[in-house]
Each structure stands twice: as structure tokens, then as C-alpha cells.
Amino acid sequence: MRGKLIVVSGPSGAGKSTLIRAALDAVPELAYSVSATTRAPREGEVNGRDYIFLSREEFERWIEAGYFLEWAEYSGNLYGTPEHRVDELLDSGLSVILEIELQGARKVREQRPDAKMVFVRAPSLEENRRRLEGRATETSEALESRMTTAVREVAALDEFDYEVVNGDREQARREVVDTMKKIIRGGNDAE
Ligand code: 5GP
């Protein structure tokens, strides 16, 4: 049976990546779609595992070649989901997580109406900012741009099937794992 397509979105700093890693560890039917980006690698990021790091020229060639299920510009960089790999994984029976920002999430929902949409957010925008500051991966300009985008993203919460508030880390982890299992089992009880 073909797997489910699962979009996980929400502001930068909400803790999406950590929760997704926990879900991948806990649920063997899940796979992660590695995105392409023009952003520079952060310390510790590995090409092909965290992202496929491309130059803008290469990325634009991929767009022209029709390689992307969706792509978007976010905070001055391009990000996109290579379509071929997603379908390969879905065909193999795995459910596939796309960790993408709001514009991309909307494009996926248009193109793949069966996709399940999960929104992850911090308990408040103030807490979101604290987390981004604590992570210290962005310049102050990039951090402000991410926070401006965060306000718009939180306003789109209604467009999603599931919401996970990442306050207590352990509770959020359990909620994400339960949500993934529910989606894979095919329940329609969105919450
Ligand atoms: P970061 O630079 O922090 O890794 O990611 C910035 C934002 O881009 C995050 O919200 C992340 O979910 C999103 N993102 C990562 N990969 C993709 C992708 O393939 N497509 C889109 N539209 N957004 C992505």
C-alpha cells in the first residue's frame, strides 16, 4: 500500500526538526524527504542528509527541469522538495514527512489534496524568539526576518489538520508520535 504524505510546517524556532527526528526514531513506517536549498550549511549539517545544498544556478536549473513538487523563497534563500524521491518512498509503502514552510505547504496541499497537514508551534511568539536566539544559528537580520514570517505562519493555523504546541518537550514528542501513527493508520479524526 502506498504511504501517506505528511507536511510538517510552523515557524522557524518552533522545534520541528527535533520533533521530526523523534517521530522518525519511534515510527518505522516513516521516512524523511531531504529538501534542496541554496542556504549555506550550518555547522554539523551534512549534504544529502540534512539538505541537498545547491547554488542558486543549480537550484534554478532544477526548477526548470521540473524536479520539484514545490519550492519557495524563504528569508532570502530557495528551498524545494525533489518530487521523484518522495514518490519513490511513498510507492515503497513508507509515509513521507516534508518539513517545509507555509508557502510550500500550501502548494503541496493544492497538488496532493490527500496530504495530511501538521502545524508545530512554540507556546508563544516570545518563546519562539527566545528559542531562535538561544540556537544562535542566524544573524540578527535573518532572525528578525524569520520572526516576521512566524507571525504570518501562525495566522495560517486553521489551514492545518493537526496542531502540536511544543511547550513541554516530552509531551510534544508524544503528541507528534501519536499524530504520525494516527495519520499512518488512516484515521480521519483530525484535531
Ligand atoms: P532552515 O533554514 O531553518 O533549515 O529552514 C527554513 C525554513 O524552510 C523552515 O521553515 C523549513 O521548514 C523550510 N523548508 C525546508 N525545506 C523546505 C522545502 O523543501 N520547501 C519549502 N517550501 N520549505 C522548506
- pTM of structure: 0.94
- Indicate which residue's Cα is closest to atom 21 of ligand 1: 100
Q: CB neighbours (10 Å) of residue 137?
A: 13
Is pLDDT of 189 > 50? no
Percentage of the chain lying above the pLDDT 70 cut: 97
Q: How confident is the model at residue 137 (pLDDT cuts 50, 70, 90)?
A: confident
- Indicate which residue's Cα is closest to atom 11 of ligand 1: 100
Class of domain 5-185 as given by CATH: alpha beta
Interval between CA 98 and ligand 1 midpoint (Å): 9
| Residue 187, CB-side half-sphere exposure with 13 Å CA sphere | 12
d(CA 184, CA 63): 30
Domain spans, the chain: 5-185
pLDDT in tens, 76-115: 999 999 999 999 999 999 999 999 999 999 999 999 999 9
